[in-house]
Amino acid sequence: MQVTFDLPDDVVAQLNLFEGKLPEILELGMRELNTLEQVGFSGLTEVVEFFASLPTPEAIIALRPSETLQTQISNLLEKNRTVGLTPEDEKIWQGYQYLEHIVRMAKARAFLKLKQTQAE
């Protein structure tokens, strides 16, 4: 498929450097936009970027939710206690539960790795 659109000159100059990767750039950009449009559920990017930095086992064990993420979780918990969650809220809550599961698994593995290192 061929697509034509107008871009500012500075964007064109930047894209010229990555001419062979334009489909990949568009795909990644669309993924990012879709992620941003998932209202309410943030935090996944934060955690993925943390793990992508290849943290030490100690850093993994020390990982805690950011203040923003903790506020979002607290707000959902309060809403659940008072008025109940909407279907959209429930979907966001399930995302947070999945994220917590991933972090718990990483922490468990980090503890095992530390224990093995100390035993050697």
Angle at 43 between CA 37 and CA 48, to 5 degrees: 105
Q: What are the backbone angles phi and psi of residue 6, rounded to the nearest 5°?
A: -95, 135
Please choose, from the candidates 110, 90, 95, the residue with its C-alpha nearest in 3D space to the C-alpha of residue 45. 95
Give the residue extent of every domain in the chain.
1-37, 40-119
| pLDDT tens sequence across 8-56 | 888 888 888 888 888 888 877 776 666 555 545 567 778 888 899 999 9
Instruction: Give the predicted TM-score (pTM) of the model.
Output: 0.63
CA dist., res. 83 & res. 62, Å (int): 34
More confident residue, 21 or 82: 82
Q: Has residue 108 got a pLDDT over 90?
A: yes
Higher per-residue confidence, 111 vs 39:
111
The yes-or-no verdict on residue 115 having pLDDT over 60 is: yes
**Which among 117, 108, 118 has a CA at the least distance from the CA of 61?**
108
Spatial separation of the C-alpha atoms in residues 91 and 75, rounded to whole Å: 14
Both tokens assigned to 62: 């020390």
Q: How confident is the model at residue 95 (pLDDT cuts 50, 70, 90)?
A: confident
